[in-house]
Amino acid sequence: MANVELTNVRKVYGSSVEAVKGINIAIEDGALCVLVGPSGCGKSTLLRMIAGLESITDGTVKIDNKVVNELGPAERDIAMVFQNYALYPHMKVYDNMAYGLRNRGMPKDQIDKRVKDAAQILELTQLLERRPKELSGGQRQRVAMGRAIVRSPKVFLFDEPLSNLDAKLRGQMRVEIKNLQRQLGVTSVYVTHDQLEAMTLADILVVMNAGSVEQIGAPLDIYEKPASTFVASFIGAPPMNLVPVKADHSGLVLKDGTRIGAEGLSIPATGALIGFRPEDLEVSAGTDTHIGGLALDLKVLGVEPVGAESYVYGIIGGERVVVRVPGRSTSNTDDQLRVIIPKQKLHLFGADGKRI
């Protein structure tokens, strides 16, 4: 058990390519921290720096209040689950799990006990004599997990461990990883580009973009109060709608020139973006004026029924938006709808993309 603390961590490749630009994250003992972001945002590099597989250009990484910058991967007492599982193909499942313990000179009977216990937890007991080649994707995933937990390390590191599985299995394994992590109470850092995985797994969520942290917080806090347009459009599916507005003397003007009532919003002179989640729109039945909300006209471009809900795609003020309606939508293409965004559900972002 240990906490993990990153202070001003930087990674520079060559002389000028800055992959990670001064990151500060503190992860409490036993918490699961998810690093999420688009590919190339530096999340994997950061994880590999914690693991000791990548050198740290600047800043400090602390595990259990001890600076580990100069320690090799083996001395940091971490275990890592790789995206491709990285199972040793020439070893049986048992040996794959025992390898790390043998290297540390643990007595045979203890190794045996640990491997069998881990196999029990992960339902691998029947598979111990097989080779990785003879296992399915989900089973390999479990072995990779098993190899991590037998060592009972201070920190688990996960590098997109579920991205090679099909959608159904991914959902299953997600729940299992969460439960296992809870049960073992081992501090974990989990890298993914899948926002759903990030939302459901994280105790503490770190949204990264272009080598920097955009926002850190509890998943739902981030969902409800995204710090920037990047976070707003990255977290949540379908993403948050963003409609640019400008203020003039008599009210607000949308991109295509449509005028709307200001409704008490204060828009900076440089313009702003109004953000609203697809599920936060109310489709108004008639032309009744709604109090305390922003009323907008939406032209329907198309409707996607997905079963429990429908996505209505349309245009508001020249900007494409999506609305989430429960059940089946009665709208048709080219319909004009009046939608209302309750004021407390409105997000406002400045021209620089930062939340106002």
Partner 1 sequence: MASSTRVTFPNKFLPYLLLAPQLAITAIFFYWPASQAIYQSVLREDPFGLSTQFVGLDNFRRVLGDPNYLNSLQVTVIFSVATALIAMALALLLAVMADKVIRGKGIYRTLLIWPYAVAPAIAGMLWLFLFNPSMGTLAYLFRSTGYNWDPLLNGDQAMVLIVSAAAWKQISYNFLFFVAGLQSIPKSLIEAAAIDGAGETKRFWTIVFPLLAPTTFFLLVVNTVYAFFDTFGIIHAVTGGGPGKATETLVYKVYNDGFVNLILGDSAAQSVILMIIVIGLTAIQFRYVERKVHYG
> What residue ranges bind partner 1 (CB under 8 A)?
51-53, 72-74, 78-80, 82-84, 86, 88-90, 99-100, 103-104, 133, 147, 151
Closest CB to partner 1 among residues 80, 323: 80
Assign residue 345 a region: left if phi > 0, alpha if psi is -120 to 50, beta otherwise? alpha
Closest CB to partner 1 among residues 100, 171: 100
**How far is Cα 143 from Cα 133, in angstroms, rounded to an integer?**
12
Give the burial class of 140: count Cβ atoms within 10 A of its Cβ; 0-12 exposed, 13-18 middle, 19 or more buried.
Answer: buried
Minimum distance between the CB of residue 83 and partner 1, rounded to whole angstroms? 8
Closest CB to partner 1 among residues 110, 270: 110
Q: How many CA atoms lie within 13 A of 241 on its CB side?
A: 27
CB 82 within 8 A of CB 47: no
Closest CB to partner 1 among residues 11, 147: 147
Name which of 208, 163, 179 is nearest 37 in CA terms: 208
- Residue 47 is which amino acid? L
CB 25 within 8 A of CB 187: no
Minimum distance between the CB of residue 133 and partner 1, rounded to whole angstroms? 8
Closest CB to partner 1 among residues 90, 108: 90
Instruction: Give 138's contacts (C-beta < 8 A, 6+ positions apart).
Output: 165, 169, 172, 173
Closest CB to partner 1 among residues 147, 193: 147
Phi, psi of 43 (to 5 degrees): -70, -40
Minimum distance between the CB of residue 137 and partner 1, rounded to whole angstroms? 16
